[in-house]
Amino acid sequence: MMYRHIVFDIDGTLVDNEKAILYSLQEVLLQTIGKEFSFEQLTFCLGIPGEDTLERLGVGDIPRVMNLWIEALRRCENMVTIHKGIEELLRKLSDRGYKLGLASSRSRELLEKDFDNLKISNYFEIRICADDTLEHKPTGAPLLKYMESARVDRSEVLYIGDSVHDSMCAGDAGVDFALAVWGSHTEATPAKYYLRTPSDLLPILEDDGQKE
């Protein structure tokens, strides 16, 4: 086996934006339904599409509220940072010939308004967003769509994410999974590899290459 495509989740994996997501959601829920939620009550939203979050919360007029949430997120841009070591990892992977991709629960609109402003965005050739599949994480649909778009076999793909939703997505698609421990802060999520820092991926790929 030899991985040729390294596919990343975004939120919590490439960028640290947990506070921005939760704070902006708190703000919008108070504004639209007049109810206060704690961070603990809203953490379920991390790793799933925003529309699914609002539906679970019983919010009406989801498109309007989703737009308000996106606007609130943009006001929280100062809270968002690229995880330490990610930019260096992406540069090294690109230099070594790996194809880099995204499989995210974000809408394409949010990807273009937020993620594309970051200097790491140009590393990713194929980007699968929530708009691209009828089903979302934790099903394998995003990764199956990625493999269809890239025309690659599942054995060539390694998926990196920070949540149990990412792990389940990889498992359902038959793709190997590496847990970004730096974003999940736990090693309880099932994974083939556990990466405490982004640089932990490199020796794994070197060993994998020697097996070919």
Note the pLDDT tens digit of each residue in 31-72.
999 999 999 999 888 878 889 999 999 998 999 999 999 999
Task: Indicate whether this model's pTM tops 0.95.
Answer: no
* pLDDT tens readout for residues 155-175: 999 999 999 999 999 999 999
What are the residues facing 82 on neighbouring strands? 15
pLDDT of 211 strictly over 70: no
* pLDDT tens readout for residues 180-201: 999 986 788 999 999 999 999 9
Q: To the nearest whole number, what is the mean pLDDT of the chain?
A: 93
Ramachandran assignment for 39, one of left (phi > 0), alpha (psi -120 to 50 degrees), beta (any other): alpha
Task: Enter the tokens of residue 134.
Answer: 């009828």
Backbone angles phi, psi at 7, to 5 degrees: -110, 135
Q: How far, in Å, CA of 37 to CA of 97, rounded? A: 45
List the alpha helices (DSSP H) in 2-106: 18-33, 39-42, 50-56, 62-75, 86-95
Spell out the residues 6+ positions from residue 139 whose beta carbon is closer than 8 angstroms to its own. 168, 169, 172
